[in-house]
Amino acid sequence: DGGITQSPKYLFRKEGQNVTLSCEQNLNHDAMYWYRQDPGQGLRLIYYSQIVNDFQKGDIAEGYSVSREKKESFPLTVTSAQKNPTAFYLCASITSSNVYQPQHFGDGTRLSIL
């Protein structure tokens, strides 16, 4: 079955540590997104990528970095510069051949500070 796989499901970060969240899709989608969700809040866009080797900052990119070396993969690194990383992180994708389709989401990674 096609879908988006996020790992790990839970992640703990120590002070000063960088951590990387994985997002892999086998939907052959072109565009991929990373969102952050805080408790009781909506989604905020961190980064997005429309094609391989290209990505753009969203509204809250500071303290995060991404890469898009392969079409199916869009990992997110939460750097030590992100002082308040505790949140639920969601990866999504969409095909550019039919932009009227909704974004498809992975199951999310819950990140906490140790």
Partner 1 sequence: ELKVEQNPLFLSMQEGKNYTIYCNYSTTSDRLYWYRQDPGKSLESLFVLLSNGAVKQEGRLMASLDTKARLSTLHITAAVHDLSATYFCAVEHGDSNYQLIWGAGTKLIIKP
Give the residues lining the site for partner 1 (CB under 8 A).
31, 33, 40-45, 48, 50, 58, 90, 94, 96, 99-108
Least distance (Å) from partner 1 to the CB of residue 15? 26
DSSP, residue by residue, the chain: ---EEEE-SEEEE-TT--EEEEEEE-S--SEEEEEEE-TT--EEEEEEEEETTEEEE-TT-TTEEE--SBTTB--EEE-TT-S---EEEEEEEE-TT-TTSPPEE---EEEEE-
Least distance (Å) from partner 1 to the CB of residue 102? 4
When the beta carbons of 14 and 53 are compared against partner 1, the nearer one is 53
When the beta carbons of 78 and 91 are compared against partner 1, the nearer one is 91
When the beta carbons of 9 and 83 are compared against partner 1, the nearer one is 9
Least distance (Å) from partner 1 to the CB of residue 100? 6
